[in-house]
Structure 1
Amino acid sequence: MDPGQVALLRSLLEQRLAALAGTQEPQAVGGARDLPVPEVETSPADKATVRLLNDLALEAAGHQAAQMQVLRHALAKFDDGSYGLCEECGNEIGFSRLQARPEARLCIICQTRAERR
């Protein structure tokens, strides 16, 4: 890859990380998150709905945190010069694949092999 392509991919990763960080919900004092929907004294059906909504919100927050970790891992690879190299076989990952998924860790052949397992 040429330096322009590398700069473009790094920029994409940084933009995605910033977007995710911008949507992250603030944490309450003590590190505990406030629940998105407060549980109030209501009927059992309403309580079940509130718990479901809170569970979904917490699951989404966990997914967001995992995505941020993946993006940070990809950005760290720029520093050690391993960005764009397959973590399994060491071959270069194609630019078109990296454009679609800048955080890709495997080349298309190794990714296909991993998905078949």
Structure 2
Amino acid sequence: MNALDAGQLAQLRAALEAQLAALSRTDEPAEAHSARDLPVSEVETSPADKATVRLLNDLALEAAGHHAARMQVLRHALAKFEDGSYGQCEECGGDIGFSRLQARPEARLCIACQTRYEKR
């Protein structure tokens, strides 16, 4: 049983939706599929310039991966509202405290389970 009241649930859902909307508005590419999709194109220059271009492209691809992963986490949290499991720890099934959810509305684990997970 979820210990969150309707007002708290509405507040947390709005926070998740706002974060997802903000990420959706950014211009991060979801994934680069070929050399022409990369943010910086390689031109025939010195080896140092090529290394810089590769580094910039690697950083851009990594940022795009983090962006996509963050959006997936937010979507997962919002989907939990639909099945009524939002606010419940995915490991022990206990309630996740409101203060934790205010800080991290996408939290999947309660404090005790998150602590155990981080110690592993």
TM-score of the pair, normalised by structure 1: 0.91
Is it true that 1:107 corresponds to 2:100 in the alignment? Answer: no
- Offset, 1:37: 1.1
Task: Please report how far the alpha carbon of residue 4 of structure 1 lies from its aligned counterpart in structure 2 after TM superposition.
Answer: 1.0
Deviation, structure 1 residue 90: 0.8
* TM-score relative to the length of structure 2: 0.89
Match for 2:41 among 38, 48, 52? Answer: 38
Match of 2:119 in 1: 116
Structure 2 CA distance for aligned equivalents of residues 5 and 74 of structure 1: 15
**In structure 1, how many angstroms separate the alpha carbons of the residues matched to 2:61 and 2:79?**
27
Residue 5 of structure 2 corresponds to: 2
1:18 to 18, 21, 24: 21
Displacement, 1:116?
Answer: 1.0
Take 1:102 and 1:24, find their aligned partners in 2: how far apart are those partners? 24
Per-residue deviation, 1:100: 0.5
**Partner deviation per Cα, 1:9-68 (whole Å, 9 max, x = no partner):** 0011111111111114357xxx65721112112111001000000000001100111111
Which of 71, 92, 95 aligns to 2:95? It is 92
CA RMSD of aligned residues (A): 1.7
Contact 2:28–2:67 under 8 Å retained in 1: no
Identity %: 79
* Alignment deviations for residues 67-103 of structure 1 (CA, whole Å, 9 cap, x no partner): 1111100000000000000011111100000000000
Total equivalences in the alignment: 115
**Which blocks of at least 5 consecutive residues in structure 2 are unaligned?**
none
Structure 1: unaligned runs, 5 residues or longer: none
Evaluate the alpha carbon distance shift between residue 99 and residue 51 of structure 1 in structure 2; reply closer, same or farther with a 3 A threshold. Answer: same
2:83 equivalent to 1:55: no
Q: Which residue is equivalent to 1:71?
A: 74
